[in-house]
Chain A
Amino acid sequence: MNKVYYIIFLPFLFYSMSLVGQTIGTEIGNRAPEIRLPSPAGDTIALSSLKGKMVLLDFWATWCAPCAKEQPELAELYEKYKNAGFTKGKGFEIYGVSMDSKKANWESMINKVGMDWIQVSDLKFWSSPVAKLYNLQELPFNLLIDGNGIILAKNLHGEELQKELAKYLSGK
């Protein structure tokens, strides 16, 4: 009798679990909402184009002091993990979304720090629709996303972020 129960129940369980994964939102376990914004060169880069990789979605701005301080740390993290194998994605990318309003400031900081990962912005400051989409409350803010676009962790910085990322290393 128990067996029958499991046979009926388990598919429902897996189905509902997959639905949770499909929920688009900004909580852990949600699918991260799509972002399509221009890079400094002007070409539109979609967050979904990074499917298959571990992604740090980083919201920052040159006028945000703690964000500026964090960027050199992210540069180290990127260098260390960009080609690493993970259990939930192959390689690591950072998708930096700037809340700046002046292109010159934005570009100058990218070049100064050597932030050679993906950078996008609509240069609309806090009026950016992306700030609303991700319900941003303050900067810095980030989300760690797996190869399927599912949010694994929220707003981790420094050592905590590094530890979280290392947790998913596959050693390949």
Chain B
Amino acid sequence: MKLKLPIIILFALMASFTACSQGPATSQKDPWTQAQLLNPADLAKTINDVHAPQPFIFCIGPQAVIKNSIYIGPTMEKANLDSFKAQLEKLPKDASIVIYCGCCPFSRCPNIRPAFDLLNKMQFKNHKLLNLPQNVKVDWIDKGYPVED
């Protein structure tokens, strides 16, 4: 009878430990700030305005969808991240750069974080992540924004 209480406490501790160990996956800090998220409507407006200065738009996901974007490929793969780095080395640090993937919701996209980390590490000053929280279909194509032919 006496033994029961410690066992209950042990189970309670184990349960709370399990709950805590699941925590960091969701609370992990993203490498971009709120100000570094670019509104899709703003980018669409820029692309549609032939007189506006155009940013370098890099597709770091499975396929280029957005008009005038440069295809790199999924940056979860080292080869693609390396080729992204090689392209970035040719650009000045103050270049206007936009990256997008759009495969999946931000929470589980495997490509945006390695690419954004690289831009931070290379000390670019004017780089943004296109804010496609759901995917490139819902947040870009369905809105009628400019796409690749």
Q: Footprint of B on A, CB under 8 Å?
A: 61, 63-66, 100-102, 124-127, 131-132, 136-139
**Chain A interface, DSSP helix/strand/loop, else mixed:** loop
- Partner among B62, B105, B108, B110 whose Cβ is within 8 Å of the Cβ of A125: B62
**Chain B interface, DSSP helix/strand/loop, else mixed:** loop
Say how far A6's CB is from chain B's closest CB, in angstroms.
47
- B residues in contact with A63, CB < 8 Å: 61-62, 74, 103-104, 110
Q: Assuming A131-B137, A137-B134, is B63 touching A65 (CB within 8 A)? A: no
Q: Assuming A127-B147, A131-B137, A138-B135, is B104 touching A101 (CB within 8 A)? A: no
- Partner among A131, A132, A138 whose Cβ is within 8 Å of the Cβ of B105: A138
The answer to whether A126 and B136 have CB atoms under 8 Å apart is yes
- A residues in contact with B138, CB < 8 Å: 137-138
Say how far A42's CB is from chain B's closest CB, in angstroms.
20
- A residues in contact with B65, CB < 8 Å: 125-127
From residue 36 to 62 of chain B, which have CB atoms closer than 8 A to chain A? 61-62
24 examples of A-B residue contacts, CB within 8 angstroms: A61-B103, A63-B61, A63-B62, A63-B74, A63-B103, A64-B103, A64-B104, A65-B104, A65-B110, A100-B62, A102-B62, A124-B63, A125-B63, A125-B65, A126-B65, A126-B136, A126-B141, A127-B63, A132-B141, A136-B137, A137-B134, A137-B138, A138-B104, A138-B105
Complex CA–CA separation, A127 to B135 (angstroms): 11
The answer to whether B104 and A139 have CB atoms under 8 Å apart is yes
Complex CA–CA separation, A118 to B88 (angstroms): 42
Q: Footprint of A on B, CB under 8 Å?
A: 61-63, 65, 74, 102-105, 108, 110, 134-138, 141-142, 147-148
Say how far B25's CB is from chain A's closest CB, in angstroms.
13
Say how far B116's CB is from chain A's closest CB, in angstroms.
18
- B residues in contact with A66, CB < 8 Å: 108
The answer to whether B62 and A127 have CB atoms under 8 Å apart is no
CB-based nearest B residue for A124: B63
- A residues in contact with B102, CB < 8 Å: 126
Complex CA–CA separation, A158 to B129 (angstroms): 34
Complex CA–CA separation, A47 to B9 (angstroms): 57
The answer to whether A126 and B104 have CB atoms under 8 Å apart is no
Complex CA–CA separation, A66 to B109 (angstroms): 11
- A residues in contact with B148, CB < 8 Å: 127
- Partner among B74, B108, B110, B135 whose Cβ is within 8 Å of the Cβ of A126: B135
